[in-house]
Structure 1
Amino acid sequence: MDITQWCAHNTPHSHLMANTSKESWKRHKQEQEQPLIPGLPDHIAQLCLSPIQPCVLFSISHSWRRLIYSPSFPPFLSLYAILSPHNSHSHIHFHTFDPISNTWQPLPPHPPLRHHLLLRHPSFLSRSLTVQSVSAAGRLVLLAGTTHNLSPALPRPLVFHPLSKSWSFGPTLSSPRRWCALGSLGPTVYVASGIGAHFSIDVARSLQKWDLRHQSPVWENKTDLKDGRFSREAIDAVGWRDQICMVNVKGDAAKEGAVYDVAQDLWKEMPQGMLSGWRGPVAALDEQVLYVVDEAKAVLRRYVPEEDAWEDILHHHTLKGAQQIVAKRAKLCVVSASGISLLDLAASPPRIIPIPLPQGFHPVAVHVLPRMPAC
């Protein structure tokens, strides 16, 4: 019985509504006044409860449930998704999935954007016009998209901070772009190459970074790429072991790879084995272990740097047509033709758990960030 059926089944008769309302209010007031742990001050009780898994606290009592969503409780991780209605080519919505309550909710409204971000163009319906986003420093950063006239849609990043439930704008890009390489390493966002309103070799070769911790944020120029061949598609720049790794096209097509060494501010050739196995979306688990989903063969693989080779981990039909993966704490989240799936790598064999989407939406991108507080 789902919640809708439960409510319909338990709706009280009209002559009992007033009494029921009074009783509900009385119970609610008693629950709010009840200590978290009888005999202990709440601040001491919270220290005792903080190490316990939130899913356990959620199921025990209403007071503990309120605690895990309070600003003072260590935030658990949630899924944040950019979604698009099935019948729209130019509207995106931001939602978060709470894994504890197993529910979706929309994010607060963001500031008005100058342009709609187009996902399909009437002249190129078979081609996806990617909206590019990344997570860094506990924030969701929307950086690049395309307008109806095929120009860059965002002159500066749109940023959501989950813990304050607030939106803001980042620093203006020296050259707003689309079809760029976008990634993060620690608290820093990196954007490389891309196309502005018109093709420019300077933009196509550029690399800039933005550290989200800075009080006066600016984009800092770094060493240019050797050519402009990374401006052909919207691609991921994957942060791995103090390096940024990327290839210039998606899928099984012949491609070039590049690796940026952050400490040396230097571009290097990508190892041949890494490049040859890069046959779909790639993510780095805690920035240490690379995983790829072969989108054609529906196979998950892990990179073994000592052998410069990829080893098979799992084959599953839900991985077919994978478009994006994110990795956090022994789990991968995959966006594919099947929707959104969670892969638990700690299980043996790895488990795949489908995540039901809000009705009428399909996923554009997903990120893992701290949950929003309830108030």
Structure 2
Amino acid sequence: MSFSSMSKQQVLDAGEAAGEEAVEMIPGLPEEVAEKCLLHLPFLYHRLFRTVSSTWNRFLTDAPAKPLLLPAGTAGAGTVAAAASVSFSLPFLFAFAFDPLSRRLQCQALDPFSRRWLLLPPVPGGAAAGSFAVVGLPTRGEIYVIGGVEDGDNSKEVRSVAVYSAARNGWEQAPAMRTPRGYMAAGEVGGRVVVAGEDGEAEVFDPEERRWSPAAARHGAAVARYDAAAAGGRLYVTEGWAWPFERAPRGAVYDAAADAWVEMARGMREGWTGSCAVAGGRMYIVAEYGEWRLKRYVEARDEWRMVAGGGVPPEVRRPHVVAGEVGELAGGRRRIYVVGAGLDVAVGTVAGGEEEVVEWEVVKGPAEFAGLAPCNAQVLYA
């Protein structure tokens, strides 16, 4: 199966239909080889490569619907979002980190093939550490930085939303939220951004319509955000854990299809003892205690099951932030990234069905990243 959404022959046919002379994408190479060569160009250089020829430009930008295709052999291979704004399917890890001296927020992207970090344009605004939400829309190649408090004023919440597009390698302002929010839970549910404040109020952003709409409010006692994850059409918000428990932790679940909140299952909330990543449709936690072992949630049993294999390698120091790839790899494997201090990254490959095992590989961050403290990570198909 071709990785791209527009084959070489389609590009040539499009040129002929427009009255242009048909030109091979890369003269002398079979179409599938030419496609894979272009697919491995880092997205930051797409603008440059569009200038090579009109044929390359059409391949990179002008596919009629530009659907995103997951690689052959992944779960859900084929069209994921017909309106996706990118037509490539290589996963890139985006890491947000603060410089503890300047307190400036930076964003870098790790190319998992070359193991090179790419510096991205600065994030607009001056959000304070931990006071904003970050949501990735992987199949659209977009990241949203939402709300927060004004830099230097930890009491003034804001409505602003900035969106990064991998296709353009740039930021722009998106429509502001209906309500100012400083601390919130947020995630991508069904291709939309769901934001839930600690006061129980929630709203949803539709990237196609580019507008915010109110969502059902969560009733009952407030849930202080500790961690959140989105999977299976739901946003899970947990209050976290502390030992010994002063009281049982609370948790809430937003069901997008029903536009309703329900209480989180007991086993899920009591076992949520770390940071959650969703990979291949499964929810995993990197535990914050002991050897930083990986656990997977089993909904049928309402329990977190330990994944065999070692914990996160100790050279990847805390604080940890985690992210997972949307699709499965060949053989039904799943991939998780744990980003630590200095942007050292532990790449975990999880294999198996009910009984799973994880193997870790460490990608060291450059020396100049030594002082950076990660605060969020997202995986985009860019």
- TM-score for both structures, normalised by structure 2: 0.69
**Partner residue of 2:170 out of 148, 151, 166:** 166
Change (3 A) 1:168 1:315: same
For 1:322 and 1:294, how far apart are their aligned partners in 2?
Answer: 12
The RMSD of aligned alpha carbons is 3.2
Among all aligned residue pairs of Structure 1 and Structure 2, give the percentage whose two residues are the same amino acid: 22
Larger Rg over CA atoms: 1
Q: Does 1:85 align with 2:99?
A: yes
- 1:15 corresponds in structure 2 to none
Deviations 1:293-327 (A, max 9, x none): 11113110111111111111144253775643211
Q: Does 1:334 align with 2:342?
A: no
Deviations 1:30-70 (A, max 9, x none): xxx997352x6xxxx4444436896699xxxxx9xx98xx8
- 1:353 corresponds in structure 2 to 361
- 2:133 corresponds in structure 1 to 132
- Tell me the CA shift for residue 157 of structure 1: 1.0
Change (3 A) 1:172 1:308: same
Q: Does 1:316 align with 2:344?
A: no
Change (3 A) 1:323 1:291: same
Of residues 330-339 and 267-276 in structure 1, the stretch that sits farther from structure 2 once superposed is 330-339
Change (3 A) 1:251 1:135: farther
Instruction: Determine helix, strand or coil for the equivalent of 1:363.
Output: strand
Contact 1:344/1:351 (8 A) holds in 2: yes
Instruction: Determine helix, strand or coil for the equivalent of 1:83.
Output: strand
- 1:222 corresponds in structure 2 to 215
Amino acid at match of 1:278: W
- Tell me the CA shift for residue 291 of structure 1: 0.7
For 1:53 and 1:346, how far apart are their aligned partners in 2?
Answer: 30
Contact 1:183/1:236 (8 A) holds in 2: no
- Tell me the CA shift for residue 87 of structure 1: 2.2
Change (3 A) 1:332 1:185: same
Deviations 1:222-261 (A, max 9, x none): 111113512x34x443222122111123565541011122
Contact 1:280/1:322 (8 A) holds in 2: no
- 1:275 corresponds in structure 2 to 269
Amino acid at match of 1:351: E
Amino acid at match of 2:299: P
4+ residue runs over 6 A deviation: none
Contact 2:145/2:161 (8 A) holds in 1: yes
Matches within 5 A, 1:96-135: 96-111=109-124, 113=125, 116-119=126-129, 129-135=130-136
Amino acid at match of 1:268: V
- 1:183 corresponds in structure 2 to 187
Instruction: Determine helix, strand or coil for the equivalent of 2:144.
Output: strand
For 1:310 and 1:56, how far apart are their aligned partners in 2?
Answer: 39
Amino acid at match of 2:256: V
Change (3 A) 1:322 1:274: farther
- 1:144 corresponds in structure 2 to 147
For 2:24 and 2:258, how far apart are their aligned partners in 1?
Answer: 57
- Tell me the CA shift for residue 262 of structure 1: 1.3
Instruction: Determine helix, strand or coil for the equivalent of 1:219.
Output: strand
Contact 2:240/2:272 (8 A) holds in 1: no
Instruction: Determine helix, strand or coil for the equivalent of 1:345.
Output: strand
Instruction: Determine helix, strand or coil for the equivalent of 1:350.
Output: strand
**Number of matched pairs:** 299
Q: Does 1:249 align with 2:235?
A: no
- 1:362 corresponds in structure 2 to 373
For 1:56 and 1:93, how far apart are their aligned partners in 2?
Answer: 23
- Tell me the CA shift for residue 150 of structure 1: 0.8
Amino acid at match of 1:80: F
Change (3 A) 1:250 1:213: farther
For 1:207 and 1:323, how far apart are their aligned partners in 2?
Answer: 27
List runs of 5+ in structure 1 lacking aligned partners: 1-32, 58-62, 120-128, 195-203
For 1:74 and 1:87, how far apart are their aligned partners in 2?
Answer: 37
List runs of 5+ in structure 2 lacking aligned partners: 1-22, 43-48, 62-86, 328-333
Instruction: Determine helix, strand or coil for the equivalent of 2:269.
Output: helix
**Partner residue of 2:289 out of 269, 293, 296:** 296
Change (3 A) 1:226 1:244: same
Change (3 A) 1:271 1:110: closer
- 2:35 corresponds in structure 1 to 50
